Chain A
Amino acid sequence: MADIWIVVFVYLLIAFSVGFLMLLGSRLLRVRSKDQPPTREATYECGEEPAGKAWIRFHPRYYVVALIFVLFDVETVFLVPWALNTRRLGTFAIVEMVIFAFILMLGWGYALRKEALKWQ
């Protein structure tokens, strides 16, 4: 059983090396211009001088989405073992999941009512 994870590990090593190999290949091949104007490494902002840094505070709506995501993500984690065992558990699994989904949808309805899901 541990063997299959060694396979995955080696596969991941290869997958992770691809991007670095491409960067290395470019480093060997690329031509660096002699002419280096000062604006060459400037930040792009439609040809204007950038107005301040970009590392600023964000709109809080992104945090609301992140919070709701965590809630529903945990819920999908609970769904996985249920999905695997439905055949074995039969009607009990269905009744239990309907109750679970109902409670979850109450929370969803509350978030909808409070306009947490609205993107303004």
Chain B
Amino acid sequence: MTFVLSNPWLHGLVFGAVLVSVLMALVAFITWFERKLAGRIQSRLGPTMVGPFGLLQPIADAVKAMQKDFIVPKDADRFLFWLAPPLTIAFALATAAVIPFSKDVLAANLDVGVLYALAFSGLLAFPTWVAGWASNNKYALLGGMRMVAQGISYEIPMVMAALVPVTLAGTLSMQGIVEYQVASGWIIATPVGAAAGLLFLTTALAEGNRIPFDIPEAESELVAGPTTEYNAIGWSIFAASEYAHSVITAAIVSALFLGGWDGWWNLPPLLWMVAKTGFVFLIVTWVRWSLLRFRSDQLMALCWKYLVPGALLLVLIAGIQVSVRG
């Protein structure tokens, strides 16, 4: 074990393989969870037929998607059309490398961890745009365009909201921020931290293209947005990366604001981290099935007129708090 951990190549291989496999399994389970919860919210049952409580539904879906023929439209840019789905899921999964699941369960304790996570999260808008452009379909193109506009706009308040815990802890390392919270209380417990956490969650919903910010996909106007021309495995990869992104964002919110693996009653730290991530994901899902969609101009106005100055103010307040209390 020590040999594995001391060799960076093996360390990366072990952690990468385990983390990516666990995440992909989790994504499959979470599609079931979301469908079940959505069913309950709408007074339905959700999946019930495949396996106990419909638990095997994601596996059935995956097998079905893989067997179907992957159609590339003849007017599309073939190379980019193929490239977009793998790039999307790669960027979604890449973020997980810096998330501390406990004191030891962490692929890479980067000293610029927060920047790394936000960079890959921001990159996610671009493969969606590649998909929209390569499809040579008007709905896809409009959806891709909206995705980029929304993605880059909400990235700014998102980065600023993440800078509040960075300012309070004085480090960019995710593990460092969690250790700061273990020592001096969770960031969500301070007023500025609570506001920043709420802001971060809101912008993360927009970045992840989830309701109430799912303008790029808006079923009623753009069919399926950038993924209109994708079927079979191509579409499944997009769906999987959306869920992977949601779960990983929930984990980042837990680590930055909710104290990460810190907890009570001597329960294993890993369990706390998983519980908090699940809780944040529950909120995200609940919001998705309860709220309506914003209009395009409302979405941009909300970001530029309120969230950007608000986030800048929060960073300043956090700075003052740190200077005064030391």
Across the A-B interface, the 5 shortest Cβ-Cβ residue pairs: A19-B86, A10-B12, A26-B233, A14-B16, A119-B297
List B contacts of A16 (CB < 8 A): 86, 90
Q: Tell me whether A42 and B15 are in contact in the complex, defined as CB-CB below 8 angstroms, given that A12-B94, A94-B319 are known contacts.
A: no
Q: In this assembly, does B268 line the interface, its C-beta being within 8 Å of a C-beta of chain A?
A: no
Task: Please determine whether A69 and B170 come into contact, CB atoms closer than 8 angstroms.
Answer: no
Task: Please determine whether B69 and A42 come into contact, CB atoms closer than 8 angstroms.
Answer: no
Distance A79 CA – B313 CA, assembled complex (angstroms) = 12
Q: In this assembly, does B163 line the interface, its C-beta being within 8 Å of a C-beta of chain A?
A: yes
A4, A10, A93, A97: the one contacting B109 at CB < 8 Å is A4
Task: Please determine whether A18 and B94 come into contact, CB atoms closer than 8 angstroms.
Answer: no
Interface of A is mostly: helix
Task: Please determine whether B149 and A86 come into contact, CB atoms closer than 8 angstroms.
Answer: no
Q: In this assembly, does A110 line the interface, its C-beta being within 8 Å of a C-beta of chain B?
A: no
A8, A30, A50: the one contacting B97 at CB < 8 Å is A8
The tally of residues in B whose CB lies under 8 Å from a CB in A reads 89
Task: Please determine whether B149 and A26 come into contact, CB atoms closer than 8 angstroms.
Answer: no
Which of B13, B24, B69, B312 is packed against the most chain A CB atoms within 10 Å?
Answer: B312
List B contacts of A58 (CB < 8 A): 145
Closest A residue to B98 by beta carbon equals: A8
The tally of residues in A whose CB lies under 8 Å from a CB in B reads 71
Could you list 16 A-B pairs, sorted by A, with CB under 8 Å? A4-B109, A6-B12, A12-B97, A15-B20, A15-B90, A22-B85, A26-B65, A31-B69, A43-B229, A54-B137, A69-B153, A69-B155, A80-B166, A80-B172, A83-B163, A94-B323
List B contacts of A32 (CB < 8 A): 69
Distance A14 CA – B125 CA, assembled complex (angstroms) = 21
Q: In this assembly, does B322 line the interface, its C-beta being within 8 Å of a C-beta of chain A?
A: yes
Task: Please determine whether B137 and A45 come into contact, CB atoms closer than 8 angstroms.
Answer: yes
Task: Please determine whether B152 and A66 come into contact, CB atoms closer than 8 angstroms.
Answer: yes
Interface residues of B in 89-122 (CB under 8 A from A): 89-90, 93-94, 97, 107-110, 115-116
Task: Please determine whether B300 and A13 come into contact, CB atoms closer than 8 angstroms.
Answer: no
Q: In this assembly, does A118 line the interface, its C-beta being within 8 Å of a C-beta of chain B?
A: yes
List B contacts of A79 (CB < 8 A): 159-160, 163, 315
Which of B108, B115, B171, B326 is packed against the most chain A CB atoms within 10 Å?
Answer: B108
Which of B72, B110, B116 is packed against the most chain A CB atoms within 10 Å?
Answer: B110
Distance A30 CA – B167 CA, assembled complex (angstroms) = 51
Q: In this assembly, does A114 line the interface, its C-beta being within 8 Å of a C-beta of chain B?
A: no
Distance A7 CA – B308 CA, assembled complex (angstroms) = 35
